[in-house]
Structure 1
Amino acid sequence: MSSRWLRPEVYPLFAATGVAVGICAFSLIRNITGNPEVRCTKENRAAGILDNHAEGERYKENFLRRYVRDKRPEIMPGLNKFFTDPTY
């Protein structure tokens, strides 16, 4: 019975599902631990609406966003430059 489900054709499906679950888990953990609008403890929920703009800015401007801010939106910049900027 187990050999029926563990065929090699099913491995990419398991990998894609695993990646999707990993992305969902990462997003959930990031929002629970770092989002200034999510409050899990009773003391934090009792505080009401906070105008803490600095904390929200830190959450929004994460490492990845700061890293790609000055980059051009290209997947292969070397290949694009080779084909668009010919040197004569």
Structure 2
Amino acid sequence: MASAAWQRWIRPEVYPLFATTGVAVSICAMQLIRNITTNPDVRVTKENRAAGILENFDEGKRYSRHWFRRFIDGKRPEIMPSLNSFMADPKED
């Protein structure tokens, strides 16, 4: 019975589905680990939970301004800027 299910689901046509699902699960796990370890609002240990509400604005700013957000600051929100300008900008005669 197990070999029949194996032959039914594990085919070369299904590999892209497994790959995209694996990437999505990896991204979710990465975000979960990031939130648990670096989010200033999440307190896992008992000592940190006993501290109550902290006024740690610097830590919150560091969390919200992570490296990727600083990298994309000031860039135009376009995936293909040359193609966008080619399609949208009028031709000058």
Superposed CA RMSD: 1.5
Match of 1:26 in 2: 30
How many corresponding residue pairs?
88
- Counterparts in 2 of 1:55-66, with a 5 A limit? 55-66=59-70
SS in 2 for 1:65: helix
1:14 and 2:18 correspond: yes
Please state how far the C-alpha of 1:17 moved relative to its aligned partner.
1.0
Match of 2:40 in 1: 36
TM-score normalised over the length of structure 1: 0.88
What is the percent sequence identity of the aligned residues?
A: 64
Q: 5+ residue gaps in structure 1?
A: none
Please state how far the C-alpha of 1:85 moved relative to its aligned partner.
6.1
TM-score normalised over the length of structure 2: 0.84
- Provide the C-alpha distance between the structure 2 equivalents of 1:85 and 1:71, rounded to a whole number of angstroms: 22
